[in-house]
Amino acid sequence: MGELMRRYWHPVGLSGDATATPRVVRILGEDLVLFRDGSGKAGLLYPRCMHRGTSLYYGRVEQRGIRCCYHGWLFDVAGHCLEQPCEPNGGERRHNVRQPWYPVEERYGLVFAYMGPADRQPPLPRFDVLDELADGEFVEADDSSIGSGGPQVVPCNWLQHFENVMDPFHVPILHGSFSGMQFTNAMASMPWVVFEETDRGIRSTSLRTIDGRTFRRVTEAVLPTLRVVPSPRVGQFARVESIGWTLPIDDTTYRIYVAGRVREHGELGRMRSRYGGKTWFELTDDEHRAMPGDYEAQTGQGPITFHSEEHLRLSDRGIAMLRRMLRTQLDAVAAGRDPIGAGADAPSTIRLDAGNFLEP
């Protein structure tokens, strides 16, 4: 799965996280150092200095790159070694070595990295729902793991969360009856659902009837990890407001970066779940147990759940389709082909169908 994940761009921080202070970030099981040099370029380097292995976290960011504290080797954002001050003449063979690095690009307030093979690097995709803004709208980024229903860093495998996107049936149970009404009345009834493959992932369409009209809710799971989920509070009937990237920190932890259209700063952060006026962090252990939400349901499956112990049923069809699509992409990578949405020929813009719609 790691090789498949590496064929796509992943968010590694807010743009504001890349500064003159080196920052350790963990992505796909690797610890890396994120920084921004004096000319404004963000860099993502392997943390162990290639000379003697000291962490560049203790390095000093300068105009042209980051300098290791131990013997002063200076590296630019692409890992080139610019200075070796303890060597005669500043290191005449310094151009023969290079610090391991990954390419980064910034968009929608996020820093993205590509950790796969260089010759298969896709363009960093744009999304219609974040590019086509109405008057007064702008795009804001959030790193608080909106949608996990819990803390910023969630202690379970990312797929346990991602599958939840294709599981509309849990909504009336977990969110509609179990812990009181977490969302809205419109969501509390059992929907009629269609799951479909798209050219980018799996799409679910949930149909409910409201006052004699059809409430159509479309949710998408876009490969590799994108949750495209309209607001479950259904404040308006409209195309999806935001995209969430489920970042696998490693096999047993994940976090979510979100970018979305807003009209006020901080609007995304206010989407975080609240139970009885309390945030997740303010609940007692007893309240977590008595009022479980997505966090409890998903981490309750353990650090990595056992598919071998599951008993999937008709209502799990979306999950089965998502797993099958992932398995097909794993086979493609193993066979030397590009998985969907990846590779040098991948589309540079993705149009999405998700949203809450009220139909006549």
Residue numbers at the binding site for its own copies (CB under 8 A): 21-22, 48, 50-55, 57-58, 60, 69-72, 84-88, 91, 97, 169-170, 173-174, 177-179, 190, 289, 292, 296-298, 300-302, 305-306, 309-316
Cα(310)–Cα(198) distance, rounded to whole angstroms?
26
Nearest distance in Å: CB 61, its own copies: 11
Q: Which is nearer to its own copies, 138 or 192 (CB)?
A: 192
* CA–CA separation, 173 and 159 (whole Å): 21
Q: State how far the alpha carbon of 165 is from the alpha carbons of 16, 158, 218, 245, in Å.
A: 28, 12, 11, 12
Cα 218 to Cα 206: distance, rounded to the nearest angstrom: 6
Element (H, E) at 194: strand 192-197
Residue closer to its own copies, measured from CB, 95 or 351: 95
At its nearest, how many Å lie between its own copies and the CB of residue 158?
Answer: 15
Burial class from Cβ neighbours inside 10 Å (0-12, 13-18, 19+) for residue 78 reads middle
In this complex, which beta carbon is closest to its own copies, that of residue 32 or of residue 129?
32
Task: Give me the DSSP letters along 210-245.
Answer: ETTEEEEEEEEEETTTEEE---TT--S-SB--EEEE
Contact in structure between 76 and 35 (CB atoms under 8 Å): no
Which residue reads 């994108």 in tokens? 226
State in angstroms the smallest separation of the CB of 159 from its own copies: 12
- Which CB, 88 or 266, lies closer to its own copies? 88
**Given the complex with its own copies, which of 199 and 310 has the nearer CB atom?**
310
| C-beta neighbour count of 347 within 10 angstroms | 13
Please report how close the Cβ of residue 299 comes to its own copies at its closest, in angstroms: 9
Min dist. Cβ of residue 134 to its own copies (A): 37
Residue closer to its own copies by CB (options 134, 314) is 314
Nearer of residues 163 and 241 to its own copies, judged by Cβ: 163
Q: How far is the CB of 187 from its own copies (least distance, A)?
A: 14
12-17: Cβ within 8 A, 24+ apart = 12/44, 12/104, 12/111, 12/112, 12/113, 12/247, 13/110, 13/111, 13/143, 14/109, 14/110, 14/111, 14/141, 14/143, 14/257, 15/42, 15/106, 15/109, 15/110, 15/111, 15/141, 17/111, 17/143
Least gap, CB of 191 to its own copies (angstroms): 10
Among the listed residues 154, 168, 103, 143, the one whose alpha carbon sits nearest the alpha carbon of residue 299: 154
CB 298 to its own copies: min, Å: 8
Residue 60's identity, in one-letter code, is R
Smallest gap from Cβ 309 to its own copies, in A, equals 6
Closer to its own copies by CB, 236 or 315: give it: 315
Task: Give whichever of 193 and 340 is closer to its own copies, judged by the CB atom.
Answer: 193
